[in-house]
Amino acid sequence: MHIPDGILPAKIAISGYAVTGLFTWYSLKKINQLDNPQAQIPKASLMAAAFFVASWIHIPFPTGSLHLILNGLVGTVLGYFAFPAILIGLLFQAVMFQHGGLSTLGVNAAVMGAPALLAYHIFQLRRLLSMSKRKPQEAEPIFPEWEGGVTIHPKQPLKPQGPKFWAAGFGFLSGALGLGLSVLLVFALLIFHLPAQLDVELEQQAIYSLTLAHIPLVILEGIFTALLVMFLQQVKPELLKTQ
């Protein structure tokens, strides 16, 4: 998933840094608008380290094993800190494991970080839905159990889906869309910027096949994120209350 050094032309590598600079500026602007941004830094940093390490967990898969990207989950938990956290994680991977690259750091950060920010906004939508479910309930008149010797049964409200349901659903969407968009961006970059000497038709077929092969992984990442969100909501719900 990480584009290594030497593959992309220089203009794309430099454009990648420009896009990453823009996203970083926007994220930092949003972070500085928080009440006490400094208080969030240790949390974001340790969580960034934890996500970096959590991506080493290998998931068994029919063809062997794979590791998750978790960019959707990073967005879900860290909010606007997600982009800087991903940028740092990718720098560590390039420097410590030579996975990815220094010249392609900008491109890799943009294709991983932008979907993470989108995942954050998608996950926040659950609040709107759970609020719209709750409002009519609150507005409904509360009848006393006993009134003038006659028991009045209140109209049974529709059973609302609990916050756990919404969290899991939006967790799945965030995780799957986070990775899905990254896959699409990486392969679009590879297709549109293949070196001229390559047999374009053959290479494009190979890239399309690879993209399709990623669909089960996208679903798996979505399921993993949904389960992890449910786990966090049960064990440490404050972790999901981003900004």
Partner 1 sequence: MKFGLDEYAYLDSPIHRWSPKCRLLGLGALIFAFSFVHSLTLSPFMIGVTVILYRVSTLPLSFLLLRLRIPSFFLLIVAILTPFFTGSTVLFQLGALNLYKEGLQLFLLITIRFLCILTLGLILFSAAPFFINIRAMRSLGLSPILADMMLLSYRYVYEVGDYLSVMRTAMRLRGFRGDRLNRRNLSRLVMLAGSLLVRSYEKSEQVYKAMILRGYGQSSPIHKVQVERPRDFLLLGAHLCLAVSFIIAGIVY
In the region spanning residues 184 to 213, those forming contacts with partner 1, defined by CB under 8 A, are 195, 197-199, 202-203, 206
Among 1, 15, 30, 43, indicate the residue that binds partner 1 (CB under 8 A).
Answer: 43
Total of chain residues touching partner 1, rule CB under 8 A: 71
**What DSSP state is assigned to residue 97?**
S
Can you list the pairs that 33-42 forms with residues at least 24 positions away whose Cβ atoms lie under 8 Å? 34/243, 40/81
Tokens of 3: 């584009």
The verdict on 1 binding partner 1 (CB under 8 A) reads no
- Residue 97 or residue 143: which is nearer to partner 1 going by CB? 97
What would the 3-class secondary structure string for 203-233 be? HHHHHHHHHHHCHHHHHHHHHHHHHHHHHHH
**What DSSP state is assigned to residue 8?**
S
Report the nearest approach of partner 1 to the CB of residue 71 (Å): 14
Tokens of 151: 């028991």
Helix (H), strand (E) at residue 121: helix 105-139
Report the nearest approach of partner 1 to the CB of residue 74 (Å): 10
- Other Cβ atoms closer than 10 A to 70: 27
- Residue 53 or residue 128: which is nearer to partner 1 going by CB? 53
Residues 63-102 that bind partner 1 (CB under 8 A): 77, 81, 84-85, 87-89, 91-92, 94-99, 101-102
- Residue 137 or residue 209: which is nearer to partner 1 going by CB? 209
How many alpha carbons fall within 13 Å on the CB side of residue 80? 16
- Residue 37 or residue 160: which is nearer to partner 1 going by CB? 37
Site string for partner 1, 49-68 (x = CB under 8 A): xxxxxx-xxxxxxx------
